[in-house]
Amino acid sequence: MADILEEIVDNKRIEVDAAKQKLPFYELAKRVEQFLAENPLKPRSMHDTLMTSKSGVIAEFKRKSPSKGWIHADAVPTDVVPLYEKNGASAASILVDEKYFGGSKHFIEMVRPMVSLPILYKEFIVDEYQLYEAKLAGADTVLLIAATLSAPMVKKLVETAHQLGLEILFEVHSVSELNKVVPETDMLGVNNRHLGTFVTDVQWSFDIADKLSKDFLLVSESGISNPQTVKELRNVGYRGFLIGECFMKEQNPGEALKTFIQNIEQC
């Protein structure tokens, strides 16, 4: 199978360049400055929420996947995300990439006024420009993927994100990528899905657990479908659990989340 991550990142750079042509960086920065002036309240902290949450579930709105195609093509974020909050999610993750995941940054703009949950801007970040887009959309946290970024770029993006009041979920998939983690990282995520092949194995979160610094709040991402797995992951140090397809493949993702969290409590 071709390296899907490389293809996505190449396409993302093209998209960002096109966005800059349509809305130059200085104009975007001006809009963000105005947004911050009009919204002085402190952003919602995903880190703090996960620290105190009993379930730690980050429920994801995800309509499509490069490996599985459409998961829930007619899902509407304004229907699903408020039900995620009502049914016990600690935070929400919203896919932004349109071509490969059927997402949009406008989904965050749509649901932000409707929920008090911290929202993760789930995107393939390759440029500072995207951090400003995330802030303007109303996100609280952004995902940075170690496999797509150099160590100097990680440091630069983390600094800029924090200046904008955004938290960082820094994602790794190998022990070698831990060298890119900076002390200022808010949350450290382990992706159980290999982004080159999209093969998923939750066992990876267990295998790498003893290599992860407990100075960071740990998040296990992808492939989690069993409430018992959440309990076992929590026992080895994880406090956040990013779950999408398990809920989105159902007709009512919110109800699927509700049942999942009830089962966690019974484990």
Catalytic residue numbers read 60, 62, 122, 171, 191, 221-222
Gap between the Cα atoms of 58 and 221, Å rounded: 9
Instruction: Give counts: helices (H), strands (E), the chain.
Output: 11, 10
Alpha helix (H) ranges present in 65-212? 77-86, 105-111, 128-137, 151-163, 203-208
Grouping H, G, I as helix, E, B as strand and the rest as coil, residue 138 is coil
Q: How many CB atoms lie within 10 A of CB 18?
A: 10
DSSP string covering 42-72, please? PPP-HHHHHHH-SS-EEEEE--EETTTEESS
**Cα 90–chain centre separation:** 13
User: Of 257, 258, 263, 262, nearest to 243 (Cα)?
Assistant: 257
